[in-house]
Chains A and B, each alone.
Chain A
Amino acid sequence: MSKKKTQKETPVTLPQKVYNFCAKKKLILGVVIAVCVILLAGIIIRGVHLAIEFKGGTLITYTYQGEINENEVGSAVKDVVGSNVVVRKGESLDSGGKQITISFVSNEGLTADRQTELDTALKEKFADNSLELYDSNDVSPSSGREFLLKCFIAVVFAAIIVIIYIAIRFRNIGGWSAGVCSIFALCMDILIAFTTTIVCGFAIDSNIVAVILTILGYSINNTIVIYDRIRENRKLMPKATLNELINVSCTQSLTRSIRTSVTTIGTMLIVTIVVLVKGYTSLLSFSVPLMFGLISGTFSSLFVAPVTWSWWKGKQAKKNK
Chain B
Amino acid sequence: MKKTRKSTFFVVVILIALFAVTSVLGIDQIFADKKTTYVKGVDDIRLGIDIKGGVDVTFAPAGDYDADTAQLDSATEIIKTRLTALGITDNEVYSDEKSDRIIVRFPWQVGETDFDPQSAVKELGEMAELTFRKGTDSETDEDGNVTPTAEIVLQGSDVASAQAQYRPDENGEYEYLVALELSPEGSSKFAAATSELAGSSTPISIWMDNTMISAPSVNSAITDGSAVITGNFDQESSKKLADQINSGALPFKMETKSFKTISPTMGEGSLDAILLAALIAFIGIAIYMIVLYKLPGCVAVVALIGQIAGSIAAITGWFGFMNGSTLTILGIAGIILAVGMGVDANIITGERIKEELRTGKSLDAAIKIAYKRAFSAILDGNITNVIIAVILMGAFGVPDSFFSKILNKTIFFAFGATAEGVVYSFGFTLLAGVVCNFIFGVFASRLMVTSLSKFKCFQNRKLYGGDEK
Contacts and interface: CB of A to CB of B under 8 A. Distances in A.
Interface of A: 2, 5, 9, 13, 52-53, 56, 59, 61, 70, 86, 88-94, 99, 101, 109, 134-135, 137-143, 146-147, 149-151, 153-154, 157-158, 161-162, 165-166, 169, 206-207, 209-211, 213-214, 216-218, 220-222, 224-225, 227-229, 231-232, 252, 255-256, 259-260, 262-264, 266-267, 270-271, 273-275, 278-280, 282-283, 286, 290
Nearest to B343: A263
A218 B340 contact: yes
Interface stretch (B23-31, B133-141, B179-187, B271-279): B271-279
B92 A53 contact: yes
Given A213-B423, A279-B267, A140 B96 contact: yes
Given A13-B359, A225-B381, A259-B351, 15 more contacts: A86-B265, A90-B260, A93-B261, A137-B103, A141-B94, A142-B93, A150-B412, A209-B423, A210-B329, A213-B330, A217-B384, A232-B376, A255-B351, A256-B351, A290-B333
A211 B423 CA distance: 11
Contact of A150 (B265, B277, B418): B418
B377 A224 contact: yes
A217 B388 contact: yes
A157 B391 contact: yes
A231 B381 CA distance: 14
A90 B418 contact: no
Contacts of B260: 61, 90-94, 99, 101
B95 interface: yes
A267 B336 contact: yes
Interface string B49-74: 00001011010000000000000000
B341 A221 contact: yes
B41 interface: no
Nearest to B256: A94
Contacts, number: 246
B35 interface: no
B261 A138 contact: no
Contacts of A228: 376-377, 380-381
Interface stretch (B150-158, B280-288, B309-317): B280-288
A260 B53 contact: no
A5 B364 CA distance: 13
A208 B277 CA distance: 20
A217 B347 contact: no
B281 A280 contact: no
A267 B369 contact: no
A152 to B, nearest CB: 11
Contact of A154 (B53, B261, B365, B391): B391
B347 A271 contact: no
Contacts of A264: 336, 340, 343
B15 interface: no
5 contacts: A2-B369, A139-B96, A270-B284, A274-B280, A282-B266
B343 A206 contact: no
Q: Which of B277, B351, B372, B381 has most A Cβ within 10 Å?
A: B277
Nearest to B267: A280
A232 B330 contact: no
A217 B337 contact: yes
B243 interface: no
B420 interface: yes
Contacts of A88: 53, 262-265
B97 interface: yes
Given A271-B281, A274-B273, A283-B270, A210 B351 contact: no
B333 A274 contact: no
Contact of A214 (B76, B336, B381): B336
A236 to B, nearest CB: 11
Contacts of A162: 384, 387-388
B278 to A, nearest CB: 8
A272 B436 CA distance: 27
Contact of B385 (A56, A147, A217, A283): A217
Nearest to B273: A278
B329 A207 contact: yes
Contacts of B329: 206-207, 210, 283, 286
Contacts of A134: 258
A278 B280 CA distance: 14
A218 B388 contact: no
Interface of B: 53, 55-56, 58, 76, 92-99, 101, 103, 117, 258-267, 269-270, 272-274, 276-277, 280-281, 284-285, 288, 292, 329-330, 333-334, 336-337, 340-341, 343-344, 347-348, 351, 355, 358-359, 365, 369, 372-373, 376-377, 380-385, 387-388, 391-392, 395-396, 411-412, 415-416, 418, 420, 422-423, 426, 430
B280 to A, nearest CB: 5
Given A13-B359, A59-B94, A214-B333, A93 B103 contact: no
Given A139-B95, A206-B422, A271-B281, A161 B351 contact: no
B378 to A, nearest CB: 8
A138 B117 contact: no
A17 to B, nearest CB: 15
A143 B412 contact: no
A224 B387 contact: no
Contacts of A260: 340, 343-344, 347
Given A157-B411, A162-B387, A216-B388, A101 B262 contact: yes
Given A59-B94, A274-B280, A283 B387 contact: no
Contact of B98 (A138, A214, A218): A138
A109 B96 CA distance: 10
A246 to B, nearest CB: 16
B376 A266 contact: no
Contact of A220 (B336, B365, B373, B381): B381
B273 to A, nearest CB: 4
Nearest to A5: B369
A225 B348 contact: yes
A267 B285 contact: yes
A137 B333 CA distance: 32
B285 A259 contact: no
A256 B348 contact: yes
A211 to B, nearest CB: 7
Contact of B96 (A138, A213, A227): A138
B258 A135 contact: yes
Given A210-B426, A228-B377, A221 B262 contact: no
Contacts of B391: 154, 157-158, 161
Nearest to B388: A158
A9 to B, nearest CB: 6
